Copies of this chain bind each other. A is one copy, B any other.
Amino acid sequence: MPRTSLAPSPRSRVKRTPEKARYDAATLHAILDACPVVHVGYVIDGAPFVTPTLAWRVADRIYWHGAAASRMLRSLDGAAVCLTATLTDALVLARSAFEHSANYRSVMVMGHATLTTDPKAKAAQLERFVELHWPGRWAALRPMTVQELKATSVLSMPLDEASAKVSTGMASEAKGDETWPVWSGIIPLTQTTGAPLADPAARPADMPAHVRDYVFGRITR
């Protein structure tokens, strides 16, 4: 049963602009679901690393995967991780430089990563990832081999220690700036999905609905 709210820990509580903070599961889940490209932060020899990767959510956990041989994947089992998902919705142009900002929805998840070791569980998690984005595709693919499954690592982390920040609307202008004669407003930004391009080297195949209707960041549960 998914929780409906997450109590922030001292470090996951939003300090700056706390009025933008959200801790309810519905908001966190919606942002993570809409943002499949995330940035995973980890520490090696005291130095930070930030790797972009694809991630997917199942209930109260966030999952990501990669080559079992990669630096990130090898370093992360049991290690401290910060996973951040960010959607930039607009640039906000105010009448002072200081009040310029962005509208965004972001989630920061802190915790320790767990490697999935059971091959069956790992295969099921990878299937879930494909099916969330492209329902029906997994069964149509050439089946995964034992070797491919071995070469792939899946990591996950609970959403226990997570917070969202949501910034919307027009700029809040400094007092006295209301009549300064410069254009102010927002420039909206959207991640747009283009028309799919079939591999010209592939045997022609009809474009399935799961490709034709795909919209980046819209998944099916």
Given known pairs A16-B70, A86-B39, the reply for A196 and B202 (CB within 8 Å) is no
Complex CA gap A10/B80 in Å reads 23
Given known pairs A11-B47, A80-B48, A96-B144, the reply for A191 and B192 (CB within 8 Å) is yes
| A195 partner residues in chain B, CB cutoff 8 A | 188
Given known pairs A71-B15, A84-B51, A142-B180, the reply for A190 and B191 (CB within 8 Å) is yes
- CB-based contact B194/A191 at 8 Å: no
| A148 partner residues in chain B, CB cutoff 8 A | 96-98
Query: Taking CB as reference atom, which chain B residue is nearest A67?
Result: B16
- The verdict on A199 contacting chain B, using a C-beta distance below 8 Å, is yes
- The verdict on A141 contacting chain B, using a C-beta distance below 8 Å, is yes
- The verdict on A116 contacting chain B, using a C-beta distance below 8 Å, is no
Complex CA gap A178/B205 in Å reads 12
Query: Taking CB as reference atom, which chain B residue is nearest A79?
Result: B48
- The verdict on A41 contacting chain B, using a C-beta distance below 8 Å, is yes
- CB-based contact A130/B97 at 8 Å: yes
Interface string of A137-149 (1 = CB under 8 A from B): 1101110110010
- Across chains A and B, which 7 residue pairs bring their CB atoms closest together, nearest first? A188-B194, A41-B50, A41-B48, A39-B39, A52-B86, A50-B84, A98-B148
Pick from B50, B102, B126: contact of A97, CB below 8 A. Answer: B126
Complex CA gap A188/B177 in Å reads 42
Chain A, range 152-205, C-beta contacts under 8 Å to B: 152, 170-171, 174, 177-203, 205
- The verdict on A95 contacting chain B, using a C-beta distance below 8 Å, is yes
Complex CA gap A43/B191 in Å reads 30
Pick from B37, B41, B71, B84: contact of A16, CB below 8 A. Answer: B71
Complex CA gap A23/B196 in Å reads 31
Interface string of A103-137 (1 = CB under 8 A from B): 01010101000000000000000110010011001
